[in-house]
Structure 1
């Protein structure tokens, strides 16, 4: 009986040691992809040509991220500005010097459930990884 218990505990620990680094790596890559997409959207949206990040840009971003395995409907985009004006309105671009803020978040999707094998509690169901940033608009009317 003692040997069976030791085997079960060793097998659980062995599984965690084998697979946990892989899932942590996936988590780091997902966060890096989110941050890369934020940087790209801010670079384009804050350029002198646009001054906004509209729904079309967000739709293209969802498509790019879905190619990397993200579920497009689960991606959450928060666009704002430093002045409180709408940062996603193409009819009223933000003038030069106004900051455009962007935050893209995505749920963990039970990615860290394997940590339960060693007694660690995974993030809650509503916890999200995110990438965010701000860039000053360069749009001049």
Structure 2
């Protein structure tokens, strides 16, 4: 009986040691993709041509991220500004010097459930990985 218990414990530890780095790697790649997409949207949205990050830009972003395996309906975007004005309104672009803040969040999707094999509790269902940042708008109205 003792040998069976040792075997079961060793097998679970062995499985965790084999597969945990793979799941952690997927997690790191997903977070990096979210951060890369946030940086790209901020670069485009804060440019002198736009001064906002609107719904069309976010829809294109969902499409790009879904190509990497993200489920588009689970992506959450938050666009705000340092002045309190709407950062996603194309009718009223943010003027130069106003910060556009963006946060993209996505659930862990049970990636860390394998940690249960060694007694670690996985993240809650509402926990999310995210990428984001802030960039100053360069938009200058013409006319």
Q: What TM bracket, shorter-length normalisation? A: over 0.9
Q: Which residue of 1 aligns with 2:127?
A: 127
Q: Which residue of 1 aligns with 2:118?
A: 118
Q: Is 1:91 aligned to 2:91, yes or no? A: yes
Unmatched 5+ stretches in structure 2:
none
Deviations 1:37-81 (A, max 9, x none): 000000000000000000000000000000000000000000000
**Residues in 2 aligned to 1:9 and 1:38: alpha-carbon distance in whole angstroms:** 42
**Matched ranges for 1:5-84 at <5 A:** 5-84=5-84
**Residues in 1 aligned to 2:2 and 2:121: alpha-carbon distance in whole angstroms:** 27
Paired residue secondary structure (2:80)? strand
**Residues in 2 aligned to 1:45 and 1:59: alpha-carbon distance in whole angstroms:** 14
**Residues in 2 aligned to 1:68 and 1:32: alpha-carbon distance in whole angstroms:** 12
TM superposition outliers: structure 1 runs of 4+ over 3 Å: none
Unmatched 5+ stretches in structure 1:
none
Q: CA deviation at 1:2?
A: 1.2
Count of matched residue positions in the alignment of Structure 1 and Structure 2 = 141
Once superposed, what is the RMSD of the aligned Cα atoms?
0.4
**Residues in 2 aligned to 1:125 and 1:70: alpha-carbon distance in whole angstroms:** 16
**Residues in 2 aligned to 1:83 and 1:137: alpha-carbon distance in whole angstroms:** 11
Q: Which residue of 2 aligns with 1:137?
A: 137
Paired residue secondary structure (1:132)? strand
**TM-score normalised by the chain length of structure 1:** 0.99
**TM-score normalised by the chain length of structure 2:** 0.98
